[in-house]
Structure 1
């Protein structure tokens, strides 16, 4: 079943740390079956507190999503994201076609 990781950036604390993260994050996708569906595009919060931005990544399944997130490559750069801003990250299963 397709799975998604949804990142919501709530507030920025250190733009330089986020810039370091942004410069290195895409390289962590190498060797992983991931598709970027949303990358900080225009958004409109319909409910809840405001967010600064949203990223949505699609993976073939939750195991693949966890495999990328927990990979050595991503864990080397994620600290810059965590230092740079407050985020909410959610791993969610998709809906199978025809379900």
Structure 2
């Protein structure tokens, strides 16, 4: 069953740190079966507080998603994201077709 990591950027604190993250984040996908379905496209908040953007990544299953997120390569890069902004990140299982 596919699994998704949904990132919502809530507020930016350091644009330079986010720029460093953006330059390096895609390289962490090497060797992982991941597809970006949403990458800061146009959005409309229908409920809840305002956000600054959304990213949705699809993985074959939750174990693969955790493997990428918890992997050494991403954990080095994510420090710039932590410094640059406040995000909410959620891992959710998909629905079998």
User: Do the structures match in fold with TM over 0.5?
Assistant: yes
- Equivalences for residues 1-99 of structure 1 within 5 A: 1-97=1-97
Question: Structure 2: 5+ residue runs without aligned partners?
Answer: none
SS at structure 2 position matched to 1:82? helix
SS at structure 2 position matched to 1:56? strand
In 2, the alpha carbon distance for the partners of 1:7 and 1:13 equals 16
After the TM superposition, list the runs of 4 or more consecutive aligned residues in structure 1 that deviate by more than 3 angstroms.
none
In 1, the alpha carbon distance for the partners of 2:25 and 2:49 equals 26
In 2, the alpha carbon distance for the partners of 1:6 and 1:80 equals 18
What is the Cα deviation at residue 32 of structure 1?
0.1
In 2, the alpha carbon distance for the partners of 1:48 and 1:67 equals 30
What is the Cα deviation at residue 43 of structure 1?
0.4
In 1, the alpha carbon distance for the partners of 2:19 and 2:75 equals 16
In 2, the alpha carbon distance for the partners of 1:43 and 1:83 equals 24
Equivalent pairs counted in the alignment come to: 97
TM-score between both structures, scaled by the size of structure 2: 0.99
In 1, the alpha carbon distance for the partners of 2:49 and 2:77 equals 27
Question: Structure 1: 5+ residue runs without aligned partners?
Answer: none
What is the Cα deviation at residue 31 of structure 1?
0.0
